[in-house]
Amino acid sequence: MSTGSAYLTVSGIDVDVIYKDIKHLHIGVYPPLGRVRVAAPVRLDDDQVRRAVVQRLPWIKRQREHLQAVDRQPVPEIVSGESHYVWGLRYRLRVNERPGHAHFEVDGKRLMLYVPAGSTAAHRRRLLDRWYRAQLRQAIPPLIEKWEEKLQLSVPRWSIRRMKTKWGSCNRETHHIWFNLELAKKHPDCLEYIVVHEMMHYLESAHGKRFIKLMDDHLPNWRARRDQLNESPLAEESWV
């Protein structure tokens, strides 16, 4: 049973810490972005956990490098039979070659691509990225509007881009928020978690106790959403 949590930043790496009634400290590195999560015994404090993470930084960096190497390997060819995720659901791709406007659409459990004959894999990947971007552009505004009202804050600007190590980021000076394009593949609850998380940085820059209390007050199930976003670890070590 979890008895507390914390956020730490170690050598520029964000670390989620969950304190539990366990004997040993566990460090996990999670795909696709190399998020680091620590399950720590309640007998340890934040400084002790930080030192443990520092000692394991070479191992953590190797796991993150491995993730990036895996990510660079096979790229989708965007052909019939491939699986692609949309809002947390897995769809089987079907490519239909025909004249006219190229576009994607969801049909039951299938993701349909209508594209002229002879299109290249690179062109199809660009079409898919553009479609994912359109999905986010539809989903983000109502969430921002909802949380602007709840938090009495204003988001003057937001953008979508690919990010290798973060699901979202926020410039506290300009209040500009960026969202990772990969969020279109995750469950909508995950997107809302990132919206709230980044807006909370308007109020608190660090991932400390005040930040956690703000998240607890406004989005009580944020930990479950974060875990859903990060899913299973690439690797895990148990020690201490």
What are 20-73's pLDDT values in tens digits?
999 999 999 988 788 899 999 999 999 999 999 999 999 999 998 888 776 555
C-alpha dist (Å) from residue 79 to 71, 95, 97, 129: 19, 6, 11, 15
129 and 57 co-located in one domain? no
Residue 1: the pLDDT is 46
In a domain, 41, yes or no: yes
pLDDT digits (tens, 9 = 90+) for 165-186: 789 999 989 999 999 999 999 9
In a domain, 224, yes or no: no
Separation CA 46–CA 44 (nearest Å): 7
Separation CA 76–CA 143 (nearest Å): 30
CA dihedral 110, 181, 87, 60 (to 10 degrees): 110
Residue 25: the pLDDT is 96
Question: Taking the model in full, what pTM does it have?
Answer: 0.81
Give the confidence band of 222 by pLDDT, cuts at 50, 70, 90. very high
In a domain, 56, yes or no: yes
In a domain, 211, yes or no: no
In a domain, 32, yes or no: yes
The yes-or-no verdict on residue 130 having pLDDT over 60 is yes
The yes-or-no verdict on residue 239 having pLDDT over 60 is no
pLDDT digits (tens, 9 = 90+) for 82-102: 999 999 999 999 999 999 999
Residue 163: the pLDDT is 87
CATH number of the domain that residue 188 is part of: 3.30.2010.10
70 and 126 co-located in one domain? no
pLDDT digits (tens, 9 = 90+) for 131-160: 999 999 999 999 999 999 999 999 999 999
67 and 127 co-located in one domain? no
Compute the average pLDDT of residues 200-225. 92
Domain extent, residue 53, equals: 2-74+232-239
What are 138's two structure tokens? Answer: 């539809």
The count of domains in the chain is: 2
